[in-house]
Chain A
């Protein structure tokens, strides 16, 4: 029991810390692409501390507070289900559909909170976010089906184990297609250009986030950090072979090596997303919906069909 609690705590702290580092990496890499220096890597942590220490906190009622907590909670739950190397609390139950679902729940929480603020910008943002959510479901579904078809299981942990034997998922052509589709979907899940339509800074003044300030925004920052960690972790687990290392004899060394391997893979996923975000302009919402129902869907469906042959 205590061991599990310790594990949960470790995963939580690790996910939050690494998530913040990822946010810092995104900012630095984006800055370098623009030939700027950028902030220090720990800047998001400072930002969050600042937000959490704000004196005035505006609230618009129960749902407004609850939505945020709901989003944070769902994200944390998602992390618990995803195998983190050889550490994992609920990894035996970490089924593809469940995790995919849990990774989208936070968006709903934020939407709840945003809608209850009564700000029209937040309303527009929420609408756009929900439409994006709707649009990414189709390719996402096909990608998950392709995986499940290929490995014959929905369990994430078993998929990781299967990759230990048969090589990374992206080495197989049908799953490569699924991975490409999933990577395009990731862009929307991170809320990065070209699919950051729901946040859309400069267009609808931050959309759902427009009313949040102080502790609400601080919590959202933490949520974003953990979500970044969870999404990259999930991608590395199902497509990049996860982080199970058995090279050393001692289990502690193996675990640490596994975490490092995973970290490298996660950063690779993150970098691709950052590059895309830095060089592509934002889609409009109708273009995004059309895009997701067209190319990623075709690619992922092709992958699913090929995987089932």
Chain B
């Protein structure tokens, strides 16, 4: 049964390879991708239930015992993230045919898409630091392919910067691993955690920890390393933006959660204090960006940044409520960000522009999309009873327990400004007098195809909020495991 852990990686990997062979037959590759994505979703639901029931699944690939071979660890946190990934993958794959042009779809979109999903799942499931680097590269390579898909002038220009920056941070990652290898002599996360607890010279380890944090902060768009993100996320197609905005930064955050709850916990006065300050700055700068623009897609892109700040805040607090809030917020934010990107994609398709000033009175034409956008905004800002509320509530509780009132105020203020930034789209774009749309280019069937996947994601979000009582026990389990690294170490390095 331990072979289960590899399935979320191997299914999309194989599907991506097979999709290469008939990439030009649009209809066939479309159906193939949809069927395989649904299969992958079903498999990850199955594994999630298995993990809930029987505890962490560890797979020693190739049968080599734990510290010597590569291991895959499907603990509750990892498997919940894989499940969330597959939920938004399902929405994206049904959205893609309506959003992409015929040419983009034929030029290996589905291959890159599957490789991206495979890389993300691999990064969540791996228990080995160098293997994490390799999976980072797998997902980044796929994202390079997706960001230039279409080959427009601006895409080429912005992807160049994206590739350069990620290459730089990858090389920094390799250097950090080299440092860590020379100090501890291993790259296996569980063994690293075990050895770091024994090692006395904590100064060098704190330095390596912060170096690793900066690598992950670049991937996760944390202040002051978020500068590359806004431009590179608005140039690709909406479905690609949704995948990027929902997944890529969250892989960085997951890596920070993993490394700083498992490996570098010896000197929290320095590391976790730094996180709290950076979290506060990330929230402030992200939300200022979101308020500064009239480009609807850019507003959503900037809203990724304060959300990342909220998650980092929970890690910085490092108490039970803070971490539980971070995990809950992480899971719901993946879904709501993908949902918002899909809705904005539909908005751009029906209006033909991303400039907010040119939109008006859309609620008369698209009432469903309008009210979905309204609810999406409430979820994002954290209005009860929606899912954003519970995560933020836990985070603020955690902050109050630690007596961190400054960050509580910043967090609340940020939520208010997030609400303002997202409601600007609703009030300016959807309200107002009825204007005649240029309906010549709009196919109603396509619009329906764009709205339905977003509706699916939104309902998942609403269920996450209203049915929070079902999910809280699992969040508790995850948090308890994060607070006690021994559980992870024991499940990997069992005799």
Instruction: Tell me if chain B binds chain A.
Output: no
Contacts from A to B (Cβ < 8 Å): none
Contacts from B to A (Cβ < 8 Å): none
